[in-house]
Protein backbone atom coordinates (compact mmCIF):
# COMPACT_ATOMS: atom_id res chain seq x y z
CA UNK A 1 0.00 0.00 0.00
CA UNK A 2 2.81 2.46 0.80
CA UNK A 3 4.36 1.76 -2.57
CA UNK A 4 1.05 2.64 -4.33
CA UNK A 5 0.74 5.93 -2.41
CA UNK A 6 4.25 6.95 -3.43
CA UNK A 7 3.63 6.11 -7.08
CA UNK A 8 0.35 8.05 -7.15
CA UNK A 9 2.09 11.05 -5.59
CA UNK A 10 4.79 11.00 -8.23
CA UNK A 11 2.18 10.80 -10.96
CA UNK A 12 0.29 13.74 -9.52
CA UNK A 13 3.51 15.75 -9.34
CA UNK A 14 4.37 14.90 -12.94
CA UNK A 15 0.90 15.89 -14.13
CA UNK A 16 1.12 19.17 -12.21
CA UNK A 17 4.49 19.94 -13.81
CA UNK A 18 3.10 19.21 -17.27
CA UNK A 19 0.11 21.45 -16.63
CA UNK A 20 2.39 24.25 -15.45
CA UNK A 21 4.57 23.91 -18.54
CA UNK A 22 1.51 23.98 -20.82
CA UNK A 23 0.21 27.05 -19.01
CA UNK A 24 3.52 28.87 -19.41
CA UNK A 25 3.65 27.92 -23.07
CA UNK A 26 0.10 29.15 -23.65
CA UNK A 27 0.86 32.46 -21.91
CA UNK A 28 3.98 33.05 -24.01
CA UNK A 29 3.14 35.56 -26.76
CA UNK A 30 3.18 34.31 -30.32
CA UNK A 31 5.93 35.89 -32.39
CA UNK A 32 5.55 37.10 -35.95
CA UNK A 33 8.36 37.90 -38.34
CA UNK A 34 8.46 41.39 -39.85
CA UNK A 35 10.87 43.02 -42.28
CA UNK A 36 11.34 46.65 -43.34
CA UNK A 37 13.89 48.44 -45.51
CA UNK A 38 15.12 52.04 -45.46
CA UNK A 39 17.91 53.94 -47.20
CA UNK A 40 19.63 57.31 -47.38
CA UNK A 41 22.38 56.47 -44.89
CA UNK A 42 25.92 55.13 -45.47
CA UNK A 43 25.19 54.88 -49.18
CA UNK A 44 23.41 51.57 -48.46
CA UNK A 45 20.06 49.88 -48.23
CA UNK A 46 19.39 48.95 -44.59
CA UNK A 47 17.02 46.09 -43.70
CA UNK A 48 15.71 45.17 -40.25
CA UNK A 49 14.13 41.76 -39.72
CA UNK A 50 12.68 40.93 -36.30
CA UNK A 51 10.37 38.45 -34.58
CA UNK A 52 7.99 40.22 -32.19
CA UNK A 53 4.33 39.81 -31.06
CA UNK A 54 2.85 42.76 -32.97
CA UNK A 55 3.42 45.07 -35.91
CA UNK A 56 3.24 48.04 -33.55
CA UNK A 57 6.13 46.69 -31.51
CA UNK A 58 8.17 46.07 -34.65
CA UNK A 59 7.52 49.62 -35.85
CA UNK A 60 8.80 50.94 -32.52
CA UNK A 61 12.08 49.02 -32.92
CA UNK A 62 12.26 50.07 -36.57
CA UNK A 63 12.03 53.74 -35.57
CA UNK A 64 14.82 53.15 -33.06
CA UNK A 65 17.01 51.58 -35.77
CA UNK A 66 16.29 54.36 -38.28
CA UNK A 67 17.07 57.06 -35.71
CA UNK A 68 20.28 55.28 -34.72
CA UNK A 69 21.60 54.85 -38.26
CA UNK A 70 20.57 58.39 -39.21
CA UNK A 71 22.40 59.81 -36.22
CA UNK A 72 25.57 57.84 -36.87
CA UNK A 73 25.48 58.75 -40.56
CA UNK A 74 25.34 62.46 -39.72
CA UNK A 75 28.26 62.13 -37.30
CA UNK A 76 30.43 59.97 -39.59
CA UNK A 77 29.66 61.90 -42.79
CA UNK A 78 32.81 63.29 -44.41
CA UNK A 79 31.02 64.91 -47.35
CA UNK A 80 28.52 67.21 -45.63
CA UNK A 81 28.85 69.62 -42.73
CA UNK A 82 26.36 69.25 -39.89
CA UNK A 83 24.57 72.31 -38.53
CA UNK A 84 24.33 70.89 -35.02
CA UNK A 85 27.46 68.81 -34.31
CA UNK A 86 31.15 68.56 -35.09
CA UNK A 87 31.21 65.64 -37.51
CA UNK A 88 33.89 63.96 -39.62
CA UNK A 89 33.55 66.64 -42.31
CA UNK A 90 34.36 69.28 -39.68
CA UNK A 91 37.47 67.41 -38.52
CA UNK A 92 38.78 67.09 -42.09
CA UNK A 93 37.96 70.74 -42.82
CA UNK A 94 40.00 71.78 -39.76
CA UNK A 95 43.08 69.74 -40.78
CA UNK A 96 46.28 71.55 -39.86
CA UNK A 97 44.51 73.75 -37.33
CA UNK A 98 43.58 73.55 -33.68
CA UNK A 99 42.12 70.40 -32.05
CA UNK A 100 38.34 70.01 -32.18
CA UNK A 101 36.16 68.63 -29.37
CA UNK A 102 33.90 65.91 -30.78
CA UNK A 103 31.06 63.87 -29.33
CA UNK A 104 31.53 60.33 -28.04
CA UNK A 105 30.27 58.42 -31.13
CA UNK A 106 32.89 60.01 -33.39
CA UNK A 107 35.73 59.91 -30.87
CA UNK A 108 35.02 56.23 -30.12
CA UNK A 109 35.01 55.36 -33.83
CA UNK A 110 38.31 57.17 -34.36
CA UNK A 111 39.83 55.28 -31.44
CA UNK A 112 38.52 52.03 -32.88
CA UNK A 113 39.89 52.89 -36.35
CA UNK A 114 43.26 53.87 -34.94
CA UNK A 115 43.49 50.61 -33.00
CA UNK A 116 42.20 48.79 -36.08
CA UNK A 117 45.22 49.99 -38.04
CA UNK A 118 47.45 48.18 -35.57
CA UNK A 119 45.26 45.07 -35.57
CA UNK A 120 45.29 44.90 -39.39
CA UNK A 121 49.07 45.34 -39.64
CA UNK A 122 48.68 48.82 -41.12
CA UNK A 123 46.43 47.64 -43.95
CA UNK A 124 43.33 49.64 -42.95
CA UNK A 125 44.22 53.17 -41.86
CA UNK A 126 41.88 56.08 -41.03
CA UNK A 127 44.48 58.57 -42.34
CA UNK A 128 44.69 57.00 -45.81
CA UNK A 129 41.97 59.31 -47.13
CA UNK A 130 44.21 61.51 -49.27
CA UNK A 131 44.89 58.43 -51.45
CA UNK A 132 41.44 56.80 -51.38
CA UNK A 133 39.82 60.11 -52.30
CA UNK A 134 41.74 60.18 -55.59
CA UNK A 135 40.36 56.76 -56.53
CA UNK A 136 36.86 57.63 -55.33
CA UNK A 137 36.78 60.63 -57.63
CA UNK A 138 38.02 58.53 -60.53
CA UNK A 139 35.29 55.94 -59.97
CA UNK A 140 32.38 58.39 -59.61
CA UNK A 141 33.51 60.74 -62.39
CA UNK A 142 32.81 58.27 -65.17
CA UNK A 143 35.79 59.43 -67.26
CA UNK A 144 37.74 56.19 -66.61
CA UNK A 145 40.97 58.06 -65.93
CA UNK A 146 43.02 56.70 -63.02
CA UNK A 147 45.28 58.86 -60.83
CA UNK A 148 48.86 59.11 -62.09
CA UNK A 149 51.73 57.71 -60.01
CA UNK A 150 53.18 61.07 -59.06
CA UNK A 151 49.83 62.30 -57.75
CA UNK A 152 49.33 59.08 -55.77
CA UNK A 153 52.79 59.28 -54.18
CA UNK A 154 52.26 62.92 -53.27
CA UNK A 155 48.95 62.05 -51.60
CA UNK A 156 50.56 59.16 -49.72
CA UNK A 157 52.92 61.70 -48.16
CA UNK A 158 49.90 63.12 -46.33
CA UNK A 159 48.57 59.78 -45.06
CA UNK A 160 50.89 58.84 -42.20
CA UNK A 161 49.20 57.33 -39.10
CA UNK A 162 50.81 59.83 -36.72
CA UNK A 163 48.96 62.72 -38.40
CA UNK A 164 45.85 61.79 -36.39
CA UNK A 165 46.12 62.93 -32.76
CA UNK A 166 43.43 61.83 -30.29
CA UNK A 167 43.31 63.46 -26.85
CA UNK A 168 41.45 60.86 -24.79
CA UNK A 169 40.99 62.91 -21.65
CA UNK A 170 39.58 65.93 -23.48
CA UNK A 171 37.79 64.08 -26.30
CA UNK A 172 39.55 66.24 -28.87
CA UNK A 173 40.77 65.39 -32.37
CA UNK A 174 43.43 66.97 -34.54
CA UNK A 175 44.89 66.35 -37.97
CA UNK A 176 48.35 67.89 -37.94
CA UNK A 177 48.76 68.08 -41.74
CA UNK A 178 46.47 70.50 -43.64
CA UNK A 179 46.43 68.08 -46.59
CA UNK A 180 45.54 65.02 -44.49
CA UNK A 181 42.10 63.48 -44.91
CA UNK A 182 40.30 60.95 -42.73
CA UNK A 183 38.43 58.17 -44.53
CA UNK A 184 36.48 55.80 -42.25
CA UNK A 185 34.70 53.97 -45.04
CA UNK A 186 36.21 50.61 -44.07
CA UNK A 187 34.87 50.76 -40.52
CA UNK A 188 32.07 53.32 -40.11
CA UNK A 189 29.12 51.29 -41.40
CA UNK A 190 30.07 48.13 -39.51
CA UNK A 191 30.67 50.15 -36.34
CA UNK A 192 27.28 51.89 -36.69
CA UNK A 193 25.60 48.53 -37.34
CA UNK A 194 27.16 47.03 -34.21
CA UNK A 195 26.13 49.95 -32.02
CA UNK A 196 22.60 49.96 -33.45
CA UNK A 197 22.30 46.24 -32.71
CA UNK A 198 23.36 46.89 -29.13
CA UNK A 199 20.72 49.60 -28.80
CA UNK A 200 18.03 47.21 -30.04
CA UNK A 201 19.19 44.52 -27.64
CA UNK A 202 19.23 46.95 -24.70
CA UNK A 203 15.67 48.01 -25.62
CA UNK A 204 14.47 44.40 -25.33
CA UNK A 205 14.69 43.01 -28.87
CA UNK A 206 16.45 39.64 -29.04
CA UNK A 207 15.41 37.96 -32.29
CA UNK A 208 16.53 40.19 -35.14
CA UNK A 209 18.95 40.73 -37.99
CA UNK A 210 20.28 43.96 -39.51
CA UNK A 211 21.55 43.97 -43.09
CA UNK A 212 23.53 47.08 -44.09
CA UNK A 213 25.08 46.72 -47.49
CA UNK A 214 27.69 44.00 -47.21
CA UNK A 215 27.30 43.78 -43.43
CA UNK A 216 24.96 41.52 -41.48
CA UNK A 217 24.50 41.57 -37.70
CA UNK A 218 22.29 38.90 -36.11
CA UNK A 219 20.75 38.45 -32.69
CA UNK A 220 19.01 35.19 -31.79
CA UNK A 221 17.34 33.35 -34.70
CA UNK A 222 13.54 33.37 -35.14
CA UNK A 223 11.49 30.95 -33.00
CA UNK A 224 11.89 27.34 -33.97
CA UNK A 225 15.26 27.83 -35.68
CA UNK A 226 18.61 27.14 -34.01
CA UNK A 227 20.61 29.00 -36.66
CA UNK A 228 20.52 31.80 -39.18
CA UNK A 229 21.22 30.62 -42.72
CA UNK A 230 23.22 33.19 -44.70
CA UNK A 231 24.14 33.03 -48.37
CA UNK A 232 27.50 34.32 -49.58
CA UNK A 233 27.08 36.24 -52.83
CA UNK A 234 29.10 35.40 -55.91
CA UNK A 235 31.30 38.30 -57.10
CA UNK A 236 29.74 37.79 -60.54
CA UNK A 237 26.18 38.03 -59.28
CA UNK A 238 26.06 41.81 -59.77
CA UNK A 239 26.42 41.13 -63.49
CA UNK A 240 24.89 37.66 -63.79
CA UNK A 241 21.71 37.96 -61.77
CA UNK A 242 21.03 34.22 -61.88
CA UNK A 243 24.37 33.23 -60.41
CA UNK A 244 23.81 31.15 -57.26
CA UNK A 245 25.25 31.84 -53.85
CA UNK A 246 28.78 30.57 -53.39
CA UNK A 247 28.09 29.08 -49.98
CA UNK A 248 25.57 28.94 -47.18
CA UNK A 249 26.65 29.74 -43.63
CA UNK A 250 24.87 28.72 -40.44
CA UNK A 251 25.44 30.92 -37.38
CA UNK A 252 23.51 31.13 -34.06
CA UNK A 253 24.26 34.86 -33.78
CA UNK A 254 27.04 37.31 -34.59
CA UNK A 255 28.11 39.14 -37.73
CA UNK A 256 29.10 38.50 -41.33
CA UNK A 257 30.69 41.00 -43.72
CA UNK A 258 31.84 40.75 -47.32
CA UNK A 259 34.29 43.06 -49.09
CA UNK A 260 34.58 42.77 -52.86
CA UNK A 261 35.65 44.41 -56.09
CA UNK A 262 32.33 44.04 -57.91
CA UNK A 263 30.03 46.89 -56.85
CA UNK A 264 31.90 50.17 -57.38
CA UNK A 265 34.43 49.86 -60.20
CA UNK A 266 35.40 50.51 -63.80
CA UNK A 267 37.83 48.80 -66.20
CA UNK A 268 41.02 50.42 -67.49
CA UNK A 269 44.13 49.39 -69.43
CA UNK A 270 47.60 49.56 -67.87
CA UNK A 271 50.80 47.97 -69.15
CA UNK A 272 48.83 45.99 -71.71
CA UNK A 273 46.68 44.46 -68.98
CA UNK A 274 42.99 45.03 -68.31
CA UNK A 275 42.49 46.02 -64.66
CA UNK A 276 39.54 46.73 -62.42
CA UNK A 277 39.56 50.09 -60.60
CA UNK A 278 37.53 49.61 -57.43
CA UNK A 279 37.28 51.27 -54.02
CA UNK A 280 39.50 48.98 -51.87
CA UNK A 281 42.96 50.52 -52.15
CA UNK A 282 46.13 48.71 -51.12
CA UNK A 283 48.45 50.99 -49.09
CA UNK A 284 51.43 48.96 -50.32
CA UNK A 285 50.78 49.73 -54.01
CA UNK A 286 48.45 52.78 -53.81
CA UNK A 287 46.25 50.92 -56.31
CA UNK A 288 43.10 48.77 -55.96
CA UNK A 289 43.84 45.37 -54.43
CA UNK A 290 44.15 42.47 -56.88
CA UNK A 291 44.69 39.46 -54.60
CA UNK A 292 40.97 38.64 -54.26
CA UNK A 293 37.56 39.10 -55.82
CA UNK A 294 35.87 39.01 -52.42
CA UNK A 295 36.48 38.12 -48.78
CA UNK A 296 33.76 37.12 -46.32
CA UNK A 297 34.40 37.26 -42.58
CA UNK A 298 32.21 35.89 -39.79
CA UNK A 299 32.85 36.78 -36.15
CA UNK A 300 31.09 38.11 -33.05
CA UNK A 301 31.22 41.84 -33.93
CA UNK A 302 29.83 43.68 -36.97
CA UNK A 303 32.55 46.31 -36.53
CA UNK A 304 35.32 43.70 -36.61
CA UNK A 305 33.72 41.84 -39.52
CA UNK A 306 33.72 45.06 -41.57
CA UNK A 307 37.28 45.97 -40.60
CA UNK A 308 38.85 42.57 -41.24
CA UNK A 309 36.99 41.75 -44.46
CA UNK A 310 38.72 44.83 -45.93
CA UNK A 311 42.11 43.95 -44.45
CA UNK A 312 42.03 40.32 -45.59
CA UNK A 313 41.00 41.41 -49.07
CA UNK A 314 44.36 43.19 -49.34
CA UNK A 315 46.73 40.90 -47.45
CA UNK A 316 48.53 37.91 -48.94
CA UNK A 317 47.08 34.49 -48.14
CA UNK A 318 49.65 33.43 -45.55
CA UNK A 319 49.47 36.69 -43.60
CA UNK A 320 45.68 36.70 -43.84
CA UNK A 321 45.43 33.18 -42.43
CA UNK A 322 47.70 34.12 -39.54
CA UNK A 323 45.65 37.22 -38.80
CA UNK A 324 42.37 35.27 -38.99
CA UNK A 325 43.66 32.75 -36.46
CA UNK A 326 44.88 35.49 -34.11
CA UNK A 327 41.57 37.37 -34.24
CA UNK A 328 39.34 34.26 -34.18
CA UNK A 329 37.79 34.94 -37.60
CA UNK A 330 36.01 32.59 -39.97
CA UNK A 331 37.08 33.56 -43.51
CA UNK A 332 36.13 32.66 -47.08
CA UNK A 333 38.40 34.01 -49.84
CA UNK A 334 37.36 34.16 -53.52
CA UNK A 335 40.50 34.48 -55.63
CA UNK A 336 40.76 36.20 -59.04
CA UNK A 337 40.45 32.88 -60.91
CA UNK A 338 37.28 32.00 -58.98
CA UNK A 339 38.93 29.53 -56.60
CA UNK A 340 37.48 29.55 -53.10
CA UNK A 341 39.50 29.00 -49.94
CA UNK A 342 38.07 28.74 -46.44
CA UNK A 343 39.85 28.42 -43.13
CA UNK A 344 38.81 25.77 -40.62
CA UNK A 345 36.61 28.17 -38.67
CA UNK A 346 34.65 29.05 -41.82
CA UNK A 347 34.32 25.44 -42.89
CA UNK A 348 32.56 24.71 -39.61
CA UNK A 349 29.95 27.34 -40.48
CA UNK A 350 29.45 26.32 -44.08
CA UNK A 351 26.42 24.28 -45.00
CA UNK A 352 27.65 24.08 -48.57
CA UNK A 353 30.64 25.47 -50.43
CA UNK A 354 34.16 24.51 -51.44
CA UNK A 355 35.17 20.89 -50.81
CA UNK A 356 37.75 19.86 -48.25
Whole-model pTM? Answer: 0.89
In a domain, 140, yes or no: yes
* Distance set, CA 309 to CA 73, 102, 249 (Å): 21, 28, 16
pLDDT in tens, the chain (356 residues): 334 344 455 445 544 444 444 443 444 679 999 999 999 999 999 999 999 999 999 999 999 999 999 999 999 999 999 989 999 999 999 999 999 999 999 999 999 999 999 999 999 999 999 999 999 999 888 788 899 999 999 999 999 999 999 999 999 999 999 999 999 999 999 999 999 999 999 999 999 999 998 899 999 998 778 899 999 988 876 544 455 678 899 999 999 999 999 877 888 877 778 888 899 999 999 999 999 999 999 999 999 999 999 999 999 999 999 999 999 999 999 999 999 999 999 999 997 555 44
Question: For position 86, which CATH number holds?
Answer: 1.10.3980.10
In a domain, 279, yes or no: yes
N- to C-terminal Cα separation, the chain: 64
Considering the domain architecture, whether residues 271 and 169 belong to the same structural domain is answered as no
Considering the domain architecture, whether residues 171 and 244 belong to the same structural domain is answered as no
Task: Count structural domains, the chain.
Answer: 2
Considering the domain architecture, whether residues 166 and 231 belong to the same structural domain is answered as no
In a domain, 116, yes or no: yes
Considering the domain architecture, whether residues 274 and 340 belong to the same structural domain is answered as yes
228-255 burial code (b ≥16 CB/10 A, e <16): bebebbbbebeeeeeeeebbebebebbb
User: Which of 175, 206, 240 delimits the end of a domain?
Assistant: 175
In a domain, 154, yes or no: yes
State the Cα–Cα distance between residues 266 and 197, nearest whole angstrom.
34
Considering the domain architecture, whether residues 137 and 239 belong to the same structural domain is answered as no
Considering the domain architecture, whether residues 262 and 338 belong to the same structural domain is answered as yes
In a domain, 32, yes or no: no
100-117 burial code (b ≥16 CB/10 A, e <16): bebeebbbebbebbbebb
In a domain, 293, yes or no: yes
In a domain, 64, yes or no: no
Question: For position 340, which CATH number holds?
Answer: 3.10.520.10
Supply the range of the domain harboring residue 240.
227-352
State the Cα–Cα distance between residues 316 and 284, nearest whole angstrom.
12
Considering the domain architecture, whether residues 235 and 142 belong to the same structural domain is answered as no
Considering the domain architecture, whether residues 236 and 323 belong to the same structural domain is answered as yes
Considering the domain architecture, whether residues 157 and 252 belong to the same structural domain is answered as no
State the Cα–Cα distance between residues 160 and 127, nearest whole angstrom.
6
Q: What are φ and ψ of residue 143, in 5° steps?
A: -90, -5
Amino acid sequence: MARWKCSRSLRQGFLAACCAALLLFSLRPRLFRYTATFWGVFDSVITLTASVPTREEFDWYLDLAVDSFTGFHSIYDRFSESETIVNLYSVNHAAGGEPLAVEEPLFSLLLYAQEGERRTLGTVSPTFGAVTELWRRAIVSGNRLIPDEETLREAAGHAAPELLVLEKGAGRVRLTDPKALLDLGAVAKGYATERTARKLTAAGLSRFAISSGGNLCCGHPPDGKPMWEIGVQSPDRAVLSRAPSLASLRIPSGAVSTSGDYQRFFWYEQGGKRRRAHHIIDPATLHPGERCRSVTVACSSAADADLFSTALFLLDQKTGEMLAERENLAVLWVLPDGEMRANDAMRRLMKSGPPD
